[in-house]
Chains A and B, each alone.
Chain A
Amino acid sequence: MFVWSPASVTAGSLGSLPVLLAFATEPLAHLRALDIAVIVIYFAMVLWIGFYLKGVSNTGEDFFLAGREMTAWIAGLSFVSANLGSLELMGWAGAAYQYGILATHWYWVGAIPAMLFLGLMMMPFYYVSKTHSVPGYLKLRFGEHARVLAALSFATEMILMSGVNMFAMAVVMKVVLGWNITFSIFVSSIAVALYVGLGGLRSAIFNEVLQFVLIWGGALLVPILGLVQSGGWTGLETKILANLHSTSYFHLWRDTGHFASNPMGVHWTGILFGLGFVISFGYWTTDFLVVQRVLAAHNLRAARMAPIIGSFFKMAVPFIVILPGLLGLVLLQNPDGTRRVLVGEEVVSACAVNTAQEKLDNPAACSAAMSTSRLSPAYRQRVLEAQPAADLHSYNEALPLMMVRYLGPGLLGLGITALIAGFMSGMAGNVSAFSTVWTYDLYRPLIYKRGSDSHYVLVGRLSIMSGVAVSIGAAYLVMHALGIMDYVQALFSIFIAPLLGVILFGMFWKRATALAGFLGLLIGIVFSASLFVWVKLHPAALALVAISPDAKPMAENVYRALWAFLLTSIVVVVVSLLTRPKPAAELDGLVYGATVLPQEEPVPFYKQEWMWAGVAVALFVALNLMFW
């Protein structure tokens, strides 16, 4: 269902979305005039913001770094919001329906330690080095080759991901609202191209903060009303135990001692080291899409505080994502009042109905697919008879179904607006990060070095327009060749582990050399991609990659990332020891131990980043113990 990744895509539900599209019949929700008005006002607002900010985005620093004037709160909200897309909301609500509270790992151990590490340990070097991007830092630390390799892979990933986001949004709008695919793609792309093209990163950040508020305003009511109806947390536990006869839904760690003892097929070592270290640190500390938001902070203290502030909000997100999924397990109902059971996409597709003949295309395949689901025998029979009221919905529809259940006119429009805002800010994040990397890490060093500041701003604006155009092409490409989607999503998990290895050694080991950085990155990427292709061509190889015959596909990304990180680390260490390091003087501002950080004005203890990081750690530990 989803890839083991904390990416904004959650990359998760993406692969299964086309199935939803192919078998969607009736839209899940019907909007009224008030709901449409809420959506139209949102579009008017983002365009207003874009046109307003055009007047203050004329220099390179304004356009690409939002003038480096964001407060810690704005940068922190934008930082966490860049990872709170609609697919993440829907995908993880579906995961919670399927696996219970285990899905929360992606919000807690898969994010919080890395966010705090970024703020406390890494941000000083990103910020003091005065770089404008992560590839830019690689150039300063390891030279031009490492920069170009990282920039090329990142730019390609961003533009393709933007297209996938666009397609995913169109599919969700088609499934939930019945909107035409092309209409959704073009309206969202024109809006994104306008507001990011006009206001640059500042506009993207503004809209991410706006999206964050809308998501909470639009989605918070669902778990609140769900808890009211289920009789509170205790009532929810009782109902789940009565219906599903399992306590695994409420435990984060207890059942992860063996791959086979939990429904995800994961082991605690994979969660802790694979997700909690390599993938999480790789994403939160080296992915320029999120780091760019923090680089826009107005001083070093704000840059360090931003991820720490973001960590508190990240810890709260399961309340609006995981809880609705759990509530859906016992509260969703069929039209006849019985408990609705959601199923995997493979069941939905196997039970496709031939609408002309009003019977199933392939009853045998449908029956076989349903045998692995939790559907009752009586309901299976009704599905096989293609009764109109016996429709099937997938796990990914858990959140929209809960929204339709509790949100009336206006509130439903707000919830849908939150989903649209999530998609659009995801696209905006992709194209704004692409524009910066393209302009400063590819165009300027490789194509035209002597341009003026206004020239590069123009190039940035044009790259946003062309980036959106290429994304539209990518969206249609994905639509017509669905297998591409798997590869696009895999790009993220293939690149981050090697990048993490190179940046950690670069930032914390003075001895690491330029050649070691470049070779570590290159060999790590090639190795990671080879493992991916190997498992694609020979699925049995999964047992070797994930070192267990019980491992499920979800474990693959974790272990692939671990091996790629280890190999990258070995290459960096060995090559560094065989080559001549840079003089310490050239490492000032780039490496721990060779940098004198600027003195900051003393502040009261309640404004200090270390104090708040300590509070975040205490809360993080308490939450994990509470749901052990």
Chain B
Amino acid sequence: MHGSRISIWFFIGVLLAVYGVMIAASGVSEWVTGNYARGVQLVRLHMPVWWGALLGLLGLLYGVKFRPRKSRGGNTQNDAATTARPMRRSLDNG
């Protein structure tokens, strides 16, 4: 996503970070209390902890890397997306 806008990767980063924290926290709670969800297989692998941590880490990386920034002109800018402005073209064709 280009231009003086918030990148889609920032939104995705925020969502993954929030999900990661929630899922990992739930997994840690299960691990500590030993109170696992009934019927779920392979609970001893503690996947919520590892998967939650992975999502959280990815979310954090993307959230930071693509965070909105103030440009000199005062606009919100996104670092990785600030390549050229888009080629504007007319919609009058076709």
Query: Which A residues form the contact surface with B (CB < 8 A)?
Result: 32, 34, 37-38, 41-42, 45, 48-49, 52, 56, 60-61, 64-65, 67-71, 74, 129-133, 136-137, 139-140, 147, 205-206, 209-210, 213-214, 217, 221, 225, 228-229, 298-299, 404-411, 414, 440, 453
Contact = CB atoms under 8 A, between A and B. Distances in A.
Interface residues of B, number: 42
B8 A209 contact: yes
A68 B47 contact: no
Contacts of B14: 45
B51 to A, nearest CB: 6
A465 B18 CA distance: 31
Given A221-B47, A225-B47, A410-B22, A131 B1 contact: no
A130 B3 contact: no
Contact of B26 (A34, A64, A140, A440): A34
Contacts of B94: 129-133, 136-137, 139-140, 147, 440
Interface string B2-46: 110110100110111011001100110010000011011111010
A41 B55 CA distance: 15
B44 to A, nearest CB: 11
Interface of B: 1-3, 5-6, 8, 11-12, 14-16, 18-19, 22-23, 26-27, 30, 36-37, 39-43, 45, 47-48, 51-52, 55, 81, 84-91, 93-94
A455 to B, nearest CB: 13
A169 to B, nearest CB: 20
A414 B19 contact: yes
Contacts of B91: 60-61, 64-65, 132, 440, 453
Nearest to A218: B19
B86 A68 contact: yes
Contact of A206 (B11, B23, B40, B87): B11
Contacts of A406: 40-42, 47
Contacts of A61: 88-89, 91
Nearest to A417: B19
Most buried by A among B15, B18, B88: B15
Nearest to B50: A221
Contacts of A217: 16, 19, 55
Contacts of B87: 68, 298-299
A407 B42 contact: no
